[in-house]
Amino acid sequence: MTAETDHQQSRAETTHGTYVYGVTRAREDAPSDLPAVGGDSEVRAVSRGGLSALVSDLEISRPLGTPEDLLAHERVLDAVAADTTVLPMRFGSVLTDVDAVTDELLEPHRDEFESALAELDGAVQYTVRGTYLADAHLREVVEEEPAIAELREQLRGVAEDVGYEERVRLGELVHEAVSAKRQADAEHLVRATEAAALRSQVHDVVGEAEALHASFLVDRDQVPDFEAALEELALRWTERVGLRQIGPLAPYDFVGGD
């Protein structure tokens, strides 16, 4: 039997792997009483050279990707992020065994992980989502854009099968104006919180009513100031944008790579 055949047989006989959630500075334990990805397993810390990987055993014959799997992945990372800096691994990161975690992940990438941990030291992520209330954005663009108001008035009472080109043009004008409003609102949010945030990242939004989606890297000592700034903005936007704060989280959007 050739070495290649032996390797193929070994892989075929493998039924378990080691799921990796993230990397921290060396620690002895991991969050307890949290469901692991893939079901009934214990999350634990595996260490080498001043670093630890948070891992659990995984039955690799089952496909990953259920909502429960993704939630378990995030819950482990966010629980760790509550008290220490953690570098999240991409969802679905699986190695063959614990030796592979130390020999193929922690050891060869030690400098990269240590540099990233130092850069993110003491920081957590907050994600902020906003939704326009009662079509506030549509009312505003009609009030603020004379061309939209004029074309809208021209089409009032006109049958649906008449004025096709004008309706298309109205739709384009509204889309452009709403896109500009979303950008302006996201920039306003960043300015309102910038004194309490280390970094920020604005994301594209989906859905007609969604106003904004942004992530912030916040020093733990600045969390009260960040939350206060966000609350003040929410009060100013009471009748137009509903803001939802999510965090503290692991710094998913501020890690350069695995």
Task: Determine the pLDDT at residue 29.
Answer: 83
Mean pLDDT (whole number) for 32-44: 84
The residues near 229 (Cβ < 8 Å, ≥ 6 apart) are 192, 193, 195, 196
Which of the 8 DSSP states describes residue 39?
B
- Contact predicate 22/51, CB 8 Å: no
- Mean of per-residue pLDDT scores for the chain: 88
- Residue 132 gets the label, from left (phi > 0), alpha (psi -120 to 50) or beta, of beta
The percent of residues above 70 in pLDDT, for the chain, comes to 92
pLDDT exceeds 90 at position 118 = yes
Task: Determine the pLDDT at residue 159.
Answer: 66
Of 26-40, 56-70, 166-180, 218-232, where does the model show the most confidence?
218-232
Strand partners, 199: 217
For the chain, list the domains and their CATH numbers: 3-121 (no CATH), 124-254 (3.30.70)
Q: What is the pLDDT of residues 51-89, one digit of tens each?
A: 999 999 988 877 788 899 999 999 999 999 988 999 999
Amino acid at 182: R
- Residue 59 gets the label, from left (phi > 0), alpha (psi -120 to 50) or beta, of beta
DSSP string, 185-225: HHHHHHHHHGGG-SEEEE----STTEEEEEEEEEEGGGHHH
Phi/psi for 26 (5° steps) reads: -50, 135
Global confidence as pTM: 0.84
